[in-house]
Amino acid sequence: TSNNSLPPNNNNVTVEDDRTGLSIPTLKRAIADNLFYIQGKFPTIATENDYYMALAYTIRDRMLQRWAVTVDSYLQSKTRVVSYLSAEYLLGPHLGNNLINLGIYDRVKQAVEELGLDLEHLIAQEEEPGLGNGGLGRLAACYMDSLATLEIPAIGYGIRYEFGIFDQEIRDGWQVEITDQWLRYGNPWEIRRPEVTYEVKLGGHVEHYTDSHGHYGSNWVPDLVVKGVAYDTPILGYQVNTANTLRLWKSEAPESFDFQAFNVGDYYGAVNEKVICENISKILYPNDEQIQGKELRLRQQYFFVSCSLQDMIALHLRRGGKVENFYETFVVQLNDTHPAISVAELMRLLLDEHELDWETAWDVTTRTFAYTNHTLLPEALEKWNLDLFASILPRHLEIIYEINRRFLDEVAIRFPGDEGKLWSLSLIEEGEEKSIRMAHLACVGSFAINGVAQLHSELLKETVLKDWYELYPEKFSNKTNGVTPRRWMVLSNPRLTELITSKIGDGWIKNLEELKGLEKFADDGAFRKQWMDVKLAVKKDLASQVEQQQGIKINPESLFDVQVKRIHEYKRQHLNVLHIITLYNRLKQHPDLDIVPRTFIFGGKAAPSYHVAKLMIKLITSVAEVVNHDPDVRDRIKVVFMPDYNVTNSQKIYPAADLSEQISLAGKEASGTGNMKFSLNGALTIGTLDGANVEIRECVGEENFFLFGLTAQEVEQLKSSGYNPWDYYHDSLKQAIDQISSGFFSHRDGSLFQRLVNSLLYDDRYLLFADYHSYIECQDRVAEAYRDKDKWAKMSILNVARMGKFSSDRSIKEYCEDIWKVKPVPVELYDLCPDGE
């Protein structure tokens, strides 16, 4: 039953099963078989993508037994299942990861080679499911991996967007968005479950009645009903039998549509309604940390939440449970407030469909949900305009009013006469425009509330959720984020994986704390050399990719200084740019200055409607154009903007970094997870005391971390004492700003960056000017440190050795123990069909 199992020994079995066998001849036969019987191609006319598909089906076949048994065993057992509700899953390509988790990467590589193919090329064929924007969606994906690896019964629910996050092209230095078409050539990893469908009502009105027993009831008469269809993807754990399910919902029109149209003769009207239904799961909203408040978005949220809760109730009843014991079968984690409507929807299902009384329904609901907050940015806190909300979810509005009424009664008793408390805690925001506060709905309906790094969890209690903390301190905790070492080391950095394993064995892959064992090699000169050789080899790979794709030659011996993440003012990519300009000006002034050669690498998408972020991209590419082509620079600095930053590309970038830029304004980045991926791959961090940087620095040691900038507390003090950017606007900072605004980097067009420059000079919400000098001084220390390669190697090794805490396995264990109260349930493989009939 070990998934590492070698091919059955020839004494027992002569011919391996083509769909499960793992010997090289069997794998080859299976690939050829799938090429013909699924893709319908002979090798002579097959494309690389055909081969990718054939291979993907071959691997999926080898996962199905584990998957089916896992699902079956959860249905049989009585243990609690974790249900992760997330509007986003930024999974990244499946093939490579599944090979790693099955433990058959090398063997498949060989089989594929014997067919005259290259495994890496085939892996590169896969279009990644980009069903998320950034950190929040990627965290969900890492957590799914860890849940399976830790053998925790779990199901992830979300939306099967037909178009995920847009592809980014850079034209004339500007971001251009191209529709993502990840489903274009089909998706071999998902299985449509046409029998698993639920109806979801939208709009209309509510009728109230009293039945013959005198019971008061509500009847929601919608003006639209859509159907959700389940698409399941197996999420296999690392070297275990557990394969959990990611269940994504696609919206469709109910079958009755065509029939109605036929009868009524309104063919156009029916088709139009079909389009409206299908639109719900069409496209991912491409905004990171800023809400748009669009009607379609609310429909999306409600759609997936309703399907998911109906599905959970059905599964619970199938296990023989009673509806009032729902929370014994499922504990539901809300990934931010996107699924927070769950609180009202579960109440509706329990009250209206299952006829529980209010008190029982509320008890079940508040034992079911837990809520994770992912941002402190006020513009990202979800609120729904009340009229809009009422027009789509009239019954939920009634329920929310009733939850609020009872809740505020409680508050009034706790804080007699305190009108302000009622005002600030209410689920409804009063004012010119009334709205529903989704974070408040999540807080009142959940038994646990957490932030995603220590600092963030503390700030939550002091700021946006202050009143809630006062009311329910026992609900609050911290769960620092983590990343999966399977994708972010084993898959993306095979060279470093091999080197580490050669020294300390491979236990660290499942137990990342074992990296500690590397510490004792940090002073070993030969090991340091090997370490730096690996880094250089990886940098060369990236350098040739950059040259091939963009025609920019970069020096692999230079310091790779990398900032990859969504483009946002609070993340301060433009602070990084100010450093580049400062270095450039030093070189112009002293052409023979001995500086440490650096390659600045940027990557990241800007929300299409976020103009300043798009201008930041244009600034980076404009500065690149000047710096890269100025002969005085003599290639000592190079600036590269990598287009279309996504999971696939990032797997090549993190391993190649020497320096990780984590330079958000303190108090703004909830956690960050890229910071962890860099450090785990041996990059040193230059960063502020923000998010998980604080904990990373604690772990790796302050001498192995480049710290700069104001603390969150200092930021607050400075702001309340009246911050003035002009106080800092002199010398090299003034020179850089003046160059930008004079058109030095934009062919003398002084207007191009004016909006950006003005936002700094007249507001500077993210205190770039205040942190500039400290940042530059710190960057100079980085350069000096890099001159001593041997010392740098030691710092890099110690970073990796001390990153054990930041495995998503650790995060998930904490959720399991403190919040979900669930334990591993190892899956025993058994024959689901013993008679073979």
Q: Least CB distance from residue 652 to ligand 8GP, whole Å?
A: 21
Q: What is the largest CA-CA distance in the chain?
A: 94
Q: Tokens 């993807």 sit at which residue?
A: 233
Single-letter residue type at 480: T
Q: Which residues of 464-482 are buried (b: 16+ CB within 10 A; e: fewer)?
A: bbebbbebbeebbebbbbb
Region binding ligand 8GP by CB under 6 A among candidate stretches 374-382, 431-439, 511-519, 538-546: 374-382
Q: Does 569 bind ligand 8GP (CB under 6 A)?
A: no
Nearest to ligand 8GP of 137, 234 (CB atom): 137
Nearest to ligand 8GP of 16, 288 (CB atom): 288
CB atoms within 10 A of CB 615: 23
Taking CB under 6 A as the rule, which mask of x and - marks residues 308-347 in contact with ligand 8GP?
----------------------------x-----------
Nearest to ligand 8GP of 246, 670 (CB atom): 670
Q: Least CB distance from residue 669 to ligand 8GP, whole Å?
A: 5
Region binding ligand 8GP by CB under 6 A among candidate stretches 135-143, 405-413, 491-499, 503-511: 135-143
Taking CB under 6 A as the rule, which mask of x and - marks residues 41-70 in contact with ligand 8GP?
------------------------------
Nearest to ligand 8GP of 232, 288 (CB atom): 288
Among 375, 646, 741, 759, binds ligand 8GP (CB under 6 A): 375
What are the φ and ψ backbone dihedral angles of 163, each rounded to 5 degrees?
A: -120, 115
Binding residues among 379-398 for ligand 8GP as defined by CB under 6 A: 380
Query: Could you say which DSSP state residue 602 is in?
Result: E
Q: Least CB distance from residue 565 to ligand 8GP, whole Å?
A: 9
- Count, residues near ligand 8GP per rule CB under 6 A: 19
Cα 170 from Cα 640, distance rounded (Å): 12
User: What stretches of 301-434 adopt beta strand conformation (E)?
Assistant: 330-335, 369-372, 383-385, 428-429
Q: What's the helix, strand, coil split of the chain in %, to 5?
A: 50, 15, 35
Q: Least CB distance from residue 362 to ligand 8GP, whole Å?
A: 28
Q: Pick from 814, 582, 577, 796: which is nearest to 704 by CA?
A: 796
Q: Least CB distance from residue 690 to ligand 8GP, whole Å?
A: 9
- Six token digits for residue 381: 């806190």
Q: Which residues contact 417 (CB under 8 A, 6 or more apart)?
A: none
Among 374, 421, 440, 461, binds ligand 8GP (CB under 6 A): 374
Binding residues among 530-559 for ligand 8GP as defined by CB under 6 A: none
Q: Least CB distance from residue 298 to ligand 8GP, whole Å?
A: 14
Among 93, 134, 228, 482, binds ligand 8GP (CB under 6 A): 134
Binding residues among 688-717 for ligand 8GP as defined by CB under 6 A: 691
Q: Least CB distance from residue 536 to ligand 8GP, whole Å?
A: 30
On whether the CB atoms of residues 601 and 653 are closer than 8 A, the answer is: yes
Q: Which residues of 106-138 are buried (b: 16+ CB within 10 A; e: fewer)?
A: ebbbebbeebebebeebbebbbbbbbbbbbbbb
Q: Least CB distance from residue 673 to ligand 8GP, whole Å?
A: 5
On whether the CB atoms of residues 695 and 805 are closer than 8 A, the answer is: yes
Nearest to ligand 8GP of 641, 806 (CB atom): 806
Nearest to ligand 8GP of 285, 369 (CB atom): 285
On whether the CB atoms of residues 808 and 452 are closer than 8 A, the answer is: no
Binding residues among 446-475 for ligand 8GP as defined by CB under 6 A: 452
Q: Which residues contact 144 (CB under 8 A, 6 or more apart)?
A: 84, 89, 91, 154, 156, 235, 244, 246
Q: Does 16 bind ligand 8GP (CB under 6 A)?
A: no
Q: Least CB distance from residue 291 to ligand 8GP, whole Å?
A: 7
- Six token digits for residue 47: 């494309």
Residue at shortest CB range from ligand 8GP: 135
Q: Least CB distance from residue 651 to ligand 8GP, whole Å?
A: 18
Taking CB under 6 A as the rule, which mask of x and - marks residues 241-280 in contact with ligand 8GP?
----------------------------------------
- Rounded to 10°, the helix 789-801/525-550 angle is 90
Q: Least CB distance from residue 529 to ligand 8GP, whole Å?
A: 35
Nearest to ligand 8GP of 286, 394 (CB atom): 286
Q: Does 289 bind ligand 8GP (CB under 6 A)?
A: yes
Helices and strands (H, E) in the chain, number of each type: 32, 24
Nearest to ligand 8GP of 375, 404 (CB atom): 375
Torsion angle of the four alpha carbons 727, 728, 732, 733, in this order, in degrees rounded to the nearest 10:
-110
On whether the CB atoms of residues 34 and 58 are closer than 8 A, the answer is: yes
Binding residues among 474-533 for ligand 8GP as defined by CB under 6 A: 481
Binding residues among 629-688 for ligand 8GP as defined by CB under 6 A: 669-673
Q: Pick from 488, 477, 262: which is nearest to 373 by CA?
A: 477
Query: Is the four-CA dihedral 13, 16, 21, 23 of positive or negative sign?
Result: positive
Exposed/middle/buried for residue 756 (C-beta within 10 Å: 0-12, 13-18, 19+): buried
Cα 64 from Cα 833, distance rounded (Å): 13
Q: Point out the residues that are catalytic.
A: 374, 565-566, 571, 673, 677
Q: How far apart are the first and last CA of the chain?
A: 22
Nearest to ligand 8GP of 316, 338 (CB atom): 338
Nearest to ligand 8GP of 153, 604 (CB atom): 604
Q: Pick from 245, 247, 243: which is nearest to 229 by CA?
A: 247
Region binding ligand 8GP by CB under 6 A among candidate stretches 129-137, 590-598, 730-738, 803-811: 129-137
Region binding ligand 8GP by CB under 6 A among candidate stretches 33-41, 93-101, 132-140, 707-715: 132-140
Nearest to ligand 8GP of 69, 460 (CB atom): 460
Contacts to ligand 8GP by CB under 6 A? 133-136, 139, 288-289, 336, 374-375, 380, 452, 481, 669-673, 691
